[in-house]
Each structure stands twice: as structure tokens, then as C-alpha cells.
Amino acid sequence: MIRLDRFLAYSESRRLTVCVIAGCLTVSIAWLDWQLPDMAIGFLYLFPVLLAASVLNTWQILLMAAFCGFLREAFDPLKFAFGAAERLAVVIAGYAMTGFFVTALNQRRRNLAEHLAERERQIHLRQEAEQQVRILIETSPLAILTLDHSGRIALANESARELFGFEAESMQGSDMAPYLPILFRMLNTPRPAANLRTNVECKAQRQNGEVFLAHVWLSTYHTSQGPGLAAVVWDASENLRDREGSGFDSMMATSRVLIGAISHEIRNLASAAASAHTRLAAECAVQGNDQYEVLGTLIHGLERIASSGLRAASDREAAVADLGTVLDEARIVIEPGLREAGISLIWEVGDGLPLVQADHHSLLQVFVNLARNSVQALEGRPVREVRISVAVESDLVAIHFRDSGPGVAHPDDLFRPFQPGAHSFGLGLYISRAILRAHGGGLLYNPDGPGSCFAVELWPVENQVAT
């Protein structure tokens, strides 16, 4: 069978040679048949038919079978005697069936060869994919590991060994419960057969007992032995420290701004009270009155408190923020909430925005607060959309927040704190404006056009002004 396969493969690559050999063999058999009229050697015509059928198509095989059948009948001892037509048809059919058998066998060989070639190709592709996955897993900076049904580690990459302190030994076969208990609980969750895919933040422990914050992406899958689990683990401890540090810095910056704004209000009130106190002394004979002296002491105390608060607010370093980055982060924060509320966000912010004089986190808080105010203003409105656009106006950069709400009935009261009926004690817009003013900018309400429009004005760094 192997030799036949080799012959058929050779025939496909040497079609002309095979046809010439088959033709010569047919002529030789015909000559012998003519020279030996008393011997029936017509069966030998099967061989050239078998040989040529490996390279001929259906009609060519039929023609060759008819030609060989005619030669057999022409040199047969019976010549064209009674029943010659029937014998000729049977002979031609026999030769043709023999050729078709070879054709079918050759087609089967080709199909098998193509199948084997495709199988080899798929095996090669799978091996390459497995190699790439192994390289990806081993070179990943994230810890990647899999657990079997008993909660023991089946696979762990180099980053996982470093993360959990197994640098000098293999993690395979180790129980993961002491180091990351959440994985064992997830592996044995009573959830239905559907695969579980989620991410969690939890406590983890290294082999030496050191505790750290782990951010884990995990999924469960099913094997013949039971459920398995794959997990990607990241040490989020440094991120937690940075987040808490930046949050504290942002809180302190906002607190200084708020202290400065309140101190400014207190100073105005104390100045007015001091003027009234002075006029009272000039118009009325109250000198030496104990209550009058106490009132004066109280007024001067308020002035000192206000001055101290203003000094604390002004004691800060100049801040620079990338306006494009802040707006991108603001979009990430506010867009999902707007979508859930059924509000369309029209984003008209181009590229190449300048650096501005502002604190990054405080500016982000201002943008988020304005977007939340728009959500509240659009409750129950038939048309619900928020449009955010940026424009360069004179030397300033203006960011406009416009919504399709009913507008503001009393714009003069917008930035007053502790307004009746306002959300969060009415401090949102008051603090937002104070934050922007602390960096030389401002927050304005534009009454023109439909709905409400707030404009955040900021100074580009190249046009920076003293604050």
C-alpha cells in the first residue's frame, strides 16, 4: 500500500511520463496480441489502463477503456464473431471500472494527504499558540496561577512565586488557602454550573507572613475532576498608599480653599462689625462699658481668626494641571452615571488643550460636581442631555457645562452657601467657585440660551497670574 501511494504521488508529478509509458505499454500488448493470435492475452490491457488512470480524468479513462477494448476484440481469435458487441461492452466496462477504482483510490490518497497536512498544520499552530501563552504567562509582571478542585496550585508563573515569596521553590501542589483564602472560597462557591468571573480586592499573605493588599481577577472553569480556578493577582499595596496619600493631599488642598473662603466671609462680617463698633463709640457714651469692651475684643478676635485662615489658605504651592487629562478622567467618571440616568452626553472637547493653573484633583472634583448638578436638574425632563465644550476666550480657557434642564430661577443665589432646599447643604457650587478662585480662575453662570450653563474659567500656564 505504501508503494502504491508512492507511485500515485509520483504519477501526479510526472503526468506526461506516465501517459507515454501507458501508451508504449498499450502498443506493446497490441503487438504481442497480433503476433500471438491463438493466445488470449487481452487481460494485459488492464495494466496500461491502471497506469494511465492515475493521471486521467473520467472521460479520458472512458476513451482509453474503449480503445483498449477495441484492440482486445480486434486481435481476439473470435474476431468480431457473434456476440462481439456484448463482449466489447463488458470489456470496456471492466477496463473503465478498473480505471475508476484507481481514480477513487488516488482521490482518497489525496484527501488523506490533505487531511494529514492540515492536521500537521493545526498541531503546529497549536504548539505555537501554547508556546506564546507560556511565554506570556512566564514573562507577565502580574502573578498568574491556577488551582485544581482541591484548592492546590496547578500552575504558577515566576511573578506569582516572587509575589508570594516562593522564589527558591516551586509553588505547584501547595495549598493556596493560607496565602489567598478568597480563592478557596470562590472555588467552592455554591453557585450553579455557570462559570464565575469577577474581581475582588482582599488581604493576602506572603510565605514569610507579610500581609499585603491583593487585587485579584479570577474565573472558574470545569474539568473532569471538578471545578478549577484561574487567577491573576496584583499587589495593590503601593497603589493604596498612593491613593490614600493623594486623597489626603486633595482633602487638605480643598480644606485650605474652604477655610480661605469662610475666612473671607468672616473677615467681611468682622470688618462691618468693627465699623459699627467704632461708630457706636463715637455716637454713644459707651467708653468703659464692660459689655462694649467684650464686644470689641470679640470683633478683634474674629478678625485675627479670619486673617489666620486667609494666611493658611494662601500658603500653598502653585499647581499645574493637564486640562486634557483632567477632562478625560472626568468623562470616565461621569459618563456611566449619565448613561444609567438616560442622559445623553455630547462631548465637544478637542485635542491639544493647554496646561492650566489648577490642582488636578480639585479641578476634577469641580467637573464632577457640575455634572451631578446637571443630573439633578434633568430629573423628569423630556429632553435629557448634557453638553460639555471647551473654548479659548481671550487669555482664558473656558469649559462650558450646559444641560437641557429648566434653567435657574434665581441666579443671584447660586453661589451662596447653606441655601434652603439645596443638596449637600448648598456648598457644592460655593466650594467649586472657591477652588477655582484660589488658582486665579472662576465659575460663572451663563443665563443665555436654553437650560443651564456653567462656565469654568482657567488660566493657561503661559498666561499664569498671581492668586
pLDDT in single tens digits along all 467 residues of the chain: 555 556 556 666 577 777 777 778 878 877 877 777 767 777 777 778 777 777 777 888 788 888 877 777 777 655 555 667 777 787 778 878 887 887 777 778 778 878 888 999 999 999 998 888 888 888 888 899 999 888 889 888 888 988 898 877 788 888 888 898 888 888 877 654 457 888 888 888 888 888 888 899 988 888 888 888 899 998 888 776 666 555 555 655 666 666 666 666 666 666 666 666 566 665 665 555 656 565 666 666 656 665 655 455 555 556 788 998 999 988 988 888 888 888 899 999 888 888 998 888 888 888 998 998 888 888 888 888 999 999 887 688 999 999 988 877 776 667 776 555 555 445 678 788 888 887 788 898 888 777 889 999 998 987 655 44
Pairing of strands 153-156, 197-205: unpaired
User: CA-to-CA distance for 370 and 400, rounded, in angstroms?
Assistant: 10
Q: 143-235 with 320-463: one CATH topology? A: no
Please tell me the predicted confidence (pLDDT) of residue 124.
92
**What pLDDT shows up at residue 88?**
75
Q: Which residues contact 121 (CB under 8 A, 6 or more apart)?
A: none
Measured at the alpha carbon of residue 143, what is the angle toward residues 194 and 191, in degrees to the nearest 5? 15
pTM score of the predicted model: 0.53
Can you give the pLDDT at residue 192?
43
The ranges assigned to domains in the chain are 2-116, 143-235, 239-314, 320-463
Please count the CA atoms within 13 angstroms of the CA of 372 that sit on its side-chain side: 14
Single-letter residue type at 431: I
Q: Which fold has domain 143-235?
A: Beta-Lactamase (3.30.450)
CA-wise closest residue to 467 among 449, 448, 445, 440: 440
DSSP 29: H
Give the chain's count of helices (H) and strands (E): 12, 12
List CB contacts of 447: < 8 A, sequence separation 6 or more: 407, 408, 411, 453
- For 287, the grid coordinates are 467708653
The yes or no reply on domain 320-463 and CATH 1.10.1040.50 is no
CA end-to-end span of the chain: 95
Q: Report the distance separating Cα 186 and Cα 54, nearest Å.
A: 63
For 315, residues 6+ apart whose C-beta sits below 8 A from its C-beta are: 256
Cell triple for 163: 509575589
* Residue 368, number of CB atoms within 10 A of its CB: 17
* Residue type (1 letter), 247: G
Q: Please, what sign has the CA dihedral across residues 20, 25, 26, 32?
A: positive
Among 172, 151, 148, smallest CA distance to 224 is for 148
d(CA 439, CA 454): 18
- Neighbouring CB atoms inside 10 A of 74's CB total 15
CA distance 338 to 331: 10
- DSSP string across 265-307: HHHHHHHHHHHHHHHHHHHS--TT-HHHHHHHHHHHHHHHHHH
Summarize the chain as % helix, strand, coil (round to 5): 55, 20, 25
The Cα 32–Cα 205 span in angstroms is: 94
* Dihedral pair phi/psi, residue 57, rounded to 5°: -90, -175
* Residues facing residue 323 across a β-bridge: none
**How crowded is the C-beta side of 197, counted as CA atoms within 13 Å?**
2
**104, amino acid identity:** A
- Grid coordinates representing 279 are 461708630
So what's the pLDDT on residue 316? 55
Burial readout 221-236 (b: 16 or more C-beta within 10 A, e: otherwise): eeeeeebbbbbbbbbb
Helices (H), 36-83: 46-53, 58-74
For residues 399 and 323, what is the distance between their CA atoms, to the nearest angstrom? 10
The DSSP code for 139 is: H
Q: What pLDDT is recorded for position 425? A: 42
Sign of CA dihedral 347, 352, 354, 355: positive
| Strands annotated E in 89-196 | 143-147, 153-156
What pLDDT was estimated at residue 287?
57
C-alpha cell at 375: 443630573
